[in-house]
Structure 1
């Protein structure tokens, strides 16, 4: 029998799967932080997870996240894509590994206003050190793409992962 006060370290993918299924227990831990502070602050919700993939939803609110034109700010959309890519990337980690973004390239296609947005990211290449990602953000109301993003993420191992 497992002592409920003894932490149980889970791989990120299993941790997130359990979180979505509602079977995560207080003693479960993983090497990365979920949800992240920025995701909690911005109201991002994990809705889908798999090896090398993630889906996140958010309720966009122009009163909180609007720009000068009255639409959702591109920085908010870029953070949504980055958070989704980072979550997908974490599913590839083994114990003692971490990662860091090398770049994020955002392409804004059409505006978004108040309403639910859905981001989905997946790996397009998984190398030994560098991974490449694609993320699409759509409006839930009409399923139209409002933004795409690509990113390169570096996997960190050994001493490079220490303290991250």
Structure 2
């Protein structure tokens, strides 16, 4: 996956609306479309995409710590929001867009710095106006559960220009 380095690298709204969410995610994973710059900054990227499911992998660095030296909850939240919302995106039809309305994170245990984790987002409901998904963060090597999450996204049909 390649990441956008400047605004011009991102897909235009018109181009994004010309494909389904699944097609968009597949093309991004294949490197045909630039990934979001936040993935480069926070060291995570999509590794698997299918209808209703997206997997990201990431590794927390010291830069992502809170004042107590543990991984900041915002890093957990960002990975979960990305995986869960992108899973919903895979159910969004051509001509529509979506955004997160709310998400919740439950941190089970602290992720050790430098340990690669996998964040799995799975759709529970992909409808015309809403999408609901759940997620979990697990250690790649140890398989332990580090956090869970849930999200509700709004799906919006965009009318073509008159």
TM-score (norm 2): 0.79
What displacement does 1:124 show? 1.0
Specify whether residues 10 and 99 from structure 1 end up closer, same or farther in structure 2 by C-alpha distance, changes over 3 A only. closer
Secondary structure at the residue paired with 1:60?
Answer: coil
Matched, 1:13 2:12: no
Contiguous gaps of at least 5 residues in structure 1: 1-6
Within-5 A mapping of 1:31-50:
34-50=34-50
Q: How many residues align?
A: 145
How far apart in 2 are the matches of 1:19 and 1:128?
23
TM-score (norm 1): 0.78
Q: Does 2:112 correspond to 1:119?
A: no
For the residues of structure 2 that align with 1:19 and 1:158, how far apart are their CA atoms? Answer: 21
Contact 1:107 1:147 in 2 (8 A): yes
Unmatched runs of 5 consecutive residues or more in structure 2: 1-14
- The answer on whether the counterparts of 1:129 and 1:155 sit within 8 Å (CA) in structure 2 is yes
Is the 8 Å Cα contact of residues 125 and 132 (structure 2) preserved in structure 1? Answer: yes
Name the larger-Rg structure: 1
CA distance in 2, matches of 1:14, 1:129: 19
